[in-house]
Structure 1
Amino acid sequence: MELAPPPVPMNIPVETQLLIGCCYEADQAEIVSRSLDQLRAALPESFHGHLIALAEEIRNSARLLRSLADRSQMHITRVPFMTNYLNVVLPCLSRSLKDIKGYYEDKTVSREMRWRRMYNKMTDEAGGLPLPQRFVLYNHFLVLLKQLLVRSPNFDLNALETLRSRIMRLREQRGLPLPAAQPGTLVRQNLMQLAFVQDPNAHWAEQIFSLPLPSRTGLKHLKASRAFGPFQPWGHLTIPQDSKVLFRRTFDNDAISILVFLSSVDQCPYFLIRTIQNNTPWYSMFGAHELVIEREGSALQLKRWSKTEQCSKLWAVLYFLTWEEMVLFYCTFVALKARNLLTLQVHPHEFQLRREKRLFQAQIIDDSYKHSLIVYEDMPTRGLRLHAAVWEGELRQCPVWTAFVTHQSKTPSWLSRRSRHRVWLKDVQLYVFCNTYRQENMRQNKLGAFEVQFEREEAAKRFKELFISRLSDSESSSENEAAEPST
């Protein structure tokens, strides 16, 4: 009998059942990976390598399964293309997780013997495929399904069919029956001839979270993120076809996710949040123009207006592991909202991330635009960042770019004044919140340094002095620490 997630009402479409199954198996994968971590802690170090690899691949399975369920909201018309493929992989993955659980819960033998039996027997039953590689196989298959769903130009139908055949053989080796044919649409090569054209004018928000962080400043006093709704079950939200996904962020090991997209109807940004209750995904959606953002400690709070109660209510509380990620999410939200045609007004306090201290501000000429350049210091973490914002007009104070000041600033060569109005910054990475801004125009020099052109000579002087004084303070502090006698 084919393994399946917990029973759901018979009147729910098969696509919905399978996507609920994705969330259920993701939960099981999280439980199994944590149990493997506990098992590893009780075993000698010689066993750790394979256990770490296996647990990490199972965690990847959980992330991919939830991502599939979340992104399916944006591509409902393409979900039938995945139906038969999901029906191939989910029961096989489910059986693997249950088998692993059965081995490590066998208290009749030692922990070492539980691991040895699990690894050796599950490798043998898969024709010699090492146990961690089994989940690499599942994950590669799930990645291809996601590419199929979103019409990625990297999708390879031949690779998908090859992996499907391998999983079918594994099902057969495990004694699982052939999957029942579902009414979903099978993928054919001619359908894949549809133009998978990369958008040459990609939206700036697609790039923000794909860039590596130059530093990671941890936040304290973290709690569980929360979503407050109102919620709808899968498939009940109206999302226009061909809407464009900008980014997806997850919280608390994917217990909550936020997917941001541009509606193909009004070209405005919308925030789709997903949470899990009783192994079932629930969704809520609002436009950026319908939400207000503010910082509270290590969390960002998103609030909505309740028409029935005529008051502001929490929609989500999102806790971030690092200050940098919090800053990027905050600036991205504010920029999306400010540039949104449906936004009536952005309150001035939304342009200012709370608990940041302004150390410097001046006007600069930046890629032929007038911008404000501000140096902010985060009071809880002491993190520094540069922040450029629109100087005047309707978008005044709207973020243009930010850059985190890392340990590189402690070297004398990081900042150099090239003329009365120009300063060069080496090793600085910009996160840009505007489609028209071109930072390469400010790097037209032999070093590729970022050039800051100040409107006033005095501002350039004060900017350099700010960082020189901080460098001197840092050196004095280090010298004092070295001079203190040991106790």
Structure 2
Amino acid sequence: MDLIPQPGMEISGPIELHLFGGCCLEAQRCDTVVLQLEGLRSSLAEASTLHLSAIIDGVRASARHLRELADLSQVHQDRVSVVLNYLNIVLPCLSRTLRDITGYYEDKSMSKKNRWRTMYHKMMEEADGTPLPQRFSIYNYFLTSLRDVLIRGQYLVWMRVGCSTSNRSPNFELNGLETAREKIMQLRENRGIRKATRRRTLEDSFHWAQQIFSLPLPSRTPLKNQYMSVAPGPHQLWGQLWIPDDSRILFRRPFNDDKICLIAYESGHDGCPYLLLRVINQETGQAFFSRRGCHELCIDRDGCVLRLKRWSQSSHRSKTWAALNFQTWEELVLMYCTFLALKAHNDLTVEMGPGEYTPAQERKLFQARICDDDFWHSLIVYRDMATGGVRLLAAVWDGPLRQCPVWTAFITHQSASPTWLRRVSKRRVRLSDIQPYVFCQDYRQHRQRRGQAGVFEICFHAEEACDRFTELFPLPPKRPKTPQRIAA
């Protein structure tokens, strides 16, 4: 059941008003339920009141969070559309729970003691064994997460990707939100609440490329033989390039102390990714610009430089459009993979250039098929020949996007820890400290996370592949125990 206006409540206007008006309505219902449960508590033995008190505290907290959401929505109206789908998931389910509690309370055919027992056990059964206090804990976690979305729009880029524990905002955790959402959706199904109408979600609101360069690097491996970045163009003056309305910036990367700047944006006209180069004339200080669609460019690597090449119609050959110098191997890899994914997913791309998917100056140490977010992917381990850095790459296994990057993760000094890699079955391993950078809109990283610590799990197609992978990262030798002296 999607939220609908209740008797005595006048609501008109867009769906935002209905949903946030629903927050106030359900908060009022919470107040009523608290009074009802307080009446039950006075009739119960002390042993039973502990669980009942926990429920009362949970319902009170729900009322507080609901009113807070309604208040914040007036200030942060630009972020309201992001949380609507999630709000439309939780409100009908919370409303049903509150009305069910009222139904048990008002059943005068039973004593108050039996009303409490029946309510507690029946509602626990319908929630697959989740007691009522825990159910309200789920509701409240979900509501406080949505509050953080409204307050802290700056942290939205952290949500989609599920940062490692050390890098996450302390106020938000996407894995927890998704887990709570799945539990609420299951409860909706158990209670026969029809599927919520889908609206724009957090995942829809942000393009994956907006998040890649917002995440902190787990390590910074310097590249030697640095050069100045160059952008031969051709260039135009500002105003001579047409950029459609409603285009959105995906990322901005400065080079040469911001004398050159690369901006990637998604066109509001055709929805395709484009690259915009801005260069500064050193003599006049005037800015010049050049633009190319990702589908018009090819990429390759030469040491610490990534070269983007365009096709010259007049010369009938490829020419360098930009040669961008990177100080660290990690930043170079992220830019390389980001470009490949943008180009591969672009509807205007006719074909990928020969060898573009094969990163130059990286040696392949391992490759095998894995089941990753319910898809078959190819897991590859690369070692960079210039720096010795090691990374994991998950790529599309088969189909039109075969070899397209899905995510990459850098192997840091943490791999030397005896607890970094743990084999949990014949075909599964878990990596305790790893941060995938995701290059795919549909990839759900949280589905690979396990436990409260969010350990990342890899499931291989074959046991032999799992054997070979673990052999790449042998456990460090155990320190010999110091022999104890025996007293004379």
Match of 2:285 in 1: 279
CA distance 1:198–1:312, change in 2 (3 Å)? same
SS of the aligned residue for 1:412 comes to coil
Counterpart residue identity of residue 338, structure 1: A
Q: Deviations over 1:174-219 (max 9, x none)?
A: xxxxxxxxxxxxxxxxxxxxxxx98843110000000000000000
Q: Equivalent of 1:244, from 242, 248, 261?
A: 248
* 2:431 is aligned with 1:425: yes
Between the aligned partners of 1:153 and 1:377, the Cα distance in structure 2 is 37
Match of 1:232 in 2: 236
Contact 1:299 1:320 in 2 (8 A): yes
CA distance 1:442–1:286, change in 2 (3 Å)? same
Between the aligned partners of 1:276 and 1:329, the Cα distance in structure 2 is 22
Match of 1:221 in 2: 225
Superposed counterparts of 1:59-70, under 5 Å: none
What is the CA-CA distance between 1:153 and the residue it aligns to?
7.3
* 2:386 is aligned with 1:380: yes
Counterpart residue identity of residue 342, structure 2: L
Contact 1:205 1:247 in 2 (8 A): yes
What is the CA-CA distance between 1:242 and the residue it aligns to?
1.1
Match of 1:263 in 2: 267
What is the CA-CA distance between 1:310 and the residue it aligns to?
1.1
Between the aligned partners of 2:339 and 2:315, the Cα distance in structure 1 is 25
Contact 2:203 2:441 in 1 (8 A): no
* 2:351 is aligned with 1:332: no
SS of the aligned residue for 1:351 comes to coil
What is the CA-CA distance between 1:388 and the residue it aligns to?
0.2
What is the CA-CA distance between 1:468 and the residue it aligns to?
0.4
Counterpart residue identity of residue 365, structure 2: L
CA distance 1:441–1:259, change in 2 (3 Å)? same
Higher mean alpha-carbon deviation, 386-395 vs 233-242, is at 233-242
Q: Equivalent of 1:441, from 443, 447, 452?
A: 447
Contact 1:443 1:451 in 2 (8 A): yes
* 2:422 is aligned with 1:416: yes
Superposed counterparts of 1:101-112, under 5 Å: none
What is the CA-CA distance between 1:445 and the residue it aligns to?
2.7
Contact 2:377 2:394 in 1 (8 A): yes
* 2:282 is aligned with 1:300: no
Counterpart residue identity of residue 252, structure 2: R
Contact 1:338 1:398 in 2 (8 A): yes
Between the aligned partners of 1:273 and 1:302, the Cα distance in structure 2 is 11
SS of the aligned residue for 1:331 comes to helix
SS of the aligned residue for 1:266 comes to coil
Between the aligned partners of 2:343 and 2:333, the Cα distance in structure 1 is 15
Superposed counterparts of 1:55-454, under 5 Å: 200-277=204-281, 278-454=284-460
CA distance 1:460–1:251, change in 2 (3 Å)? same
SS of the aligned residue for 1:317 comes to strand
CA distance 1:153–1:423, change in 2 (3 Å)? closer
Superposed counterparts of 1:2-41, under 5 Å: none
SS of the aligned residue for 2:355 comes to helix
Counterpart residue identity of residue 307, structure 2: Q
Between the aligned partners of 2:202 and 2:422, the Cα distance in structure 1 is 39
What is the CA-CA distance between 1:341 and the residue it aligns to?
0.2
Contact 1:153 1:198 in 2 (8 A): no
Q: Deviations over 1:138-168 (max 9, x none)?
A: xxxxxxxxxxxxxx978xxxxxxxxxxxxxx
Counterpart residue identity of residue 376, structure 2: K
Q: Deviations over 1:293-322 (max 9, x none)?
A: 000111000000011111100100000010
Q: Deviations over 1:60-97 (max 9, x none)?
A: xxxxxxxxxxxxxxxxxxxxxxxxxxxxxxxxxxxxxx
Contact 2:254 2:262 in 1 (8 A): yes
What is the CA-CA distance between 1:352 and the residue it aligns to?
1.5
Give the unaligned 5+ runs of structure 1: 1-151, 155-196, 477-487
CA distance 1:198–1:376, change in 2 (3 Å)? closer
Counterpart residue identity of residue 430, structure 2: W
Counterpart residue identity of residue 281, structure 1: A
Q: Equivalent of 1:459, from 425, 450, 465?
A: 465
Match of 1:165 in 2: none
Q: Percent identity?
A: 54
Counterpart residue identity of residue 229, structure 1: G
What is the CA-CA distance between 1:379 and the residue it aligns to?
0.4
Moved over 2 A (4+): 197-201, 444-447
Between the aligned partners of 2:370 and 2:391, the Cα distance in structure 1 is 16
What is the CA-CA distance between 1:444 and the residue it aligns to?
2.9
What is the CA-CA distance between 1:412 and the residue it aligns to?
1.0
Counterpart residue identity of residue 397, structure 2: W
TM-score by length of 2: 0.56
Structure number with bigger Rg: 2
SS of the aligned residue for 1:468 comes to coil
What is the CA-CA distance between 1:446 and the residue it aligns to?
4.3
Would you say how many aligned residue pairs link Structure 1 and Structure 2? 280
Counterpart residue identity of residue 260, structure 1: A
Between the aligned partners of 1:336 and 1:275, the Cα distance in structure 2 is 23
Match of 1:162 in 2: none
SS of the aligned residue for 2:473 comes to helix
Q: Deviations over 1:378-436 (max 9, x none)?
A: 00000000000000000000000000000000111100000001000011001000010
Contact 2:304 2:325 in 1 (8 A): yes
RMSD of equivalent CA atoms: 1.9
Contact 1:227 1:317 in 2 (8 A): yes
Between the aligned partners of 2:235 and 2:409, the Cα distance in structure 1 is 36
